[in-house]
Amino acid sequence: MIKQPQASQKSYPLNGALFALSWALMAAALPILLFLQNKWLALAAFLMGAGLLILSLLLDHSYTLRPLAARIIRYVLLVFGMLVMVFPFFWMLSSSLKTYNEMNYFPPTMFPQNWANFENFKIVFEKAPFARYFLNSVITVLGSVGVTTFTTILAAFAFSRLEFRGREILFSLLLSMMMVPFEMLVITNFQTIVKLGVYDTLYALIIPFTSSIFYTYILRNFFQSIPSGLYWSARVDGCTNWKYLWKVMVPIARPSLVTIVLLNALASWNSFMWPLLVIKSDLRRTLPFGLYHFTTEVGANFELLMAASTVTVLPMIILFLFARKQIIRGVARGGIKG
């Protein structure tokens, strides 16, 4: 039986409830684990929720058989892909909650015996100043992303809206610089940092990353797609370039800007090589560098390592959960990994 596509547009009130219930069940798994200490009940709740979610998604579309089969296959594949992607993270989280003995069980256990065993985290924070690393990372990311966004907006405006001699040549020159790999610039950047007298300070982590040709390029392209009529209407009304930029262009470009900020924050948070070069003191390390250093310190204590990794990765996971759409769009558009 062929159904008209309009039929699938219909939404069933029951599905909404089913959808909410499925999420509620999956979410309930965590408190059940933590407070009731019953991992099987938690697992059952989670799986039931997942099953209901798939059911509600299926019902939401149509009742015809062929698309149903196709959809089941699609979701099975997606779930499989998701498991592959999520498993390392799950393993990290699970290991971080195990004791040293548990870690060495053979065969290894899937779940920790005590889901509320935060002992490892405590040890990690005692052994190395992870709170400090975290703070350093946050300061670096805020500083570099903040300034980069500002300079990117100004440069993109100049290269798209202002008219001056040699604009296109200058921009081509800038673009050609993108071909120079970062590793090439490390030496000169390092010398600059030393000469500025900011070696082994957080400034050294921020100053080389206060502008970006790539983001300028993305934003300039977006700015150029804004019709010039908007600019002239505003100018005729007495709007200055500065005001026009912040009152009209930036709000219109907000989706693009959010993408840029997110990609930039991800790259900045994950940066490893540069901090390794310019930071000497323990207290000025950022998270990835601190984690690396921690590895060499704790050696074979994988449960501690996993706890430290969790601390490092968690903020990015949370960011991803909140800004999933923008990140995916940004990565898809930029064609680069975040």
Partner 1 sequence: MQVIMEKLTKHFGETKAVQDFSVTLNDGELVCLLGPSGCGKSTVLNMLSGIIPVTSGKIYFDGEDVTKLPPEQRGIGLVFQNYALYPHMTVMGNITFPLEIQKVPPAEREARAREIAELVHMGNLLGRKPKQLSGGQQQRVAIARALVKNPRLLLLDEPLSNLDARLRLEMREEIRRIQLETQVTTIFVTHDQEEAMSISDHIVLMKDGFLQQHAAPQELYNQPANQFVADFLGNPPINNFPGKVAGDDFVMADGSRVTLGLSGKVPEGTEVNLSVRAESFVVESEQQPDRLTCTVDSVFQMGKEEMAILSFGGVHFRAYIASEYGFKPGDTVVLGLKDRGVFVFDLKTGERYI
Residues that bind partner 1 (CB under 8 A): 227, 229-230, 232-239, 243, 247-248, 251-252, 254
- The CB-of-198 to partner 1 minimum distance in angstroms stands at 40
Which amino acid is present at 101?
N
Q: Which is nearer to partner 1, 235 or 333 (CB)?
A: 235
- The CB-of-226 to partner 1 minimum distance in angstroms stands at 9
Q: What is the DSSP letter of 2?
A: P
In whole angstroms, give the CA distance from residue 252 to residue 249: 5
Distances from the Cα of 337 to the Cαs of 186, 247, 257, 328, 333, in angstroms?
21, 31, 17, 10, 10
- The CB-of-221 to partner 1 minimum distance in angstroms stands at 17
- The CB-of-165 to partner 1 minimum distance in angstroms stands at 14
Q: Which is nearer to partner 1, 243 or 333 (CB)?
A: 243
- The CB-of-255 to partner 1 minimum distance in angstroms stands at 11
Surface-to-core class of residue 316, CB atoms within 10 Å of its CB (0-12 exposed, 13-18 middle, 19+ buried)? middle
Q: Which is nearer to partner 1, 126 or 163 (CB)?
A: 163
Which amino acid is present at 209?
F
Q: Which is nearer to partner 1, 229 or 299 (CB)?
A: 229
Q: Which is nearer to partner 1, 181 or 251 (CB)?
A: 251
Question: How many Cβ atoms from other residues are within 10 Å of residue 76's Cβ?
Answer: 11
Judge whether 308 and 130 are in contact, CB under 8 Å.
yes
Q: Which is nearer to partner 1, 147 or 248 (CB)?
A: 248
Side-chain half-sphere of 334: how many Cα atoms within 13 Å? Answer: 23
Q: Which is nearer to partner 1, 163 or 183 (CB)?
A: 163
In whole angstroms, give the CA distance from residue 137 to residue 261: 16
- The CB-of-258 to partner 1 minimum distance in angstroms stands at 14
Q: Which is nearer to partner 1, 154 or 252 (CB)?
A: 252
- The CB-of-237 to partner 1 minimum distance in angstroms stands at 4
Phi, psi of 178 (to 5 degrees): -65, -20
- The CB-of-173 to partner 1 minimum distance in angstroms stands at 24
Distances from the Cα of 64 to the Cαs of 37, 69, 279, in angstroms?
42, 9, 62
In whole angstroms, give the CA distance from residue 273 to residue 53: 42
Question: How many Cβ atoms from other residues are within 10 Å of residue 98's Cβ?
Answer: 24
308 token code pair = 């430290």
Secondary structure class of 254 (helix, strand, coil): helix
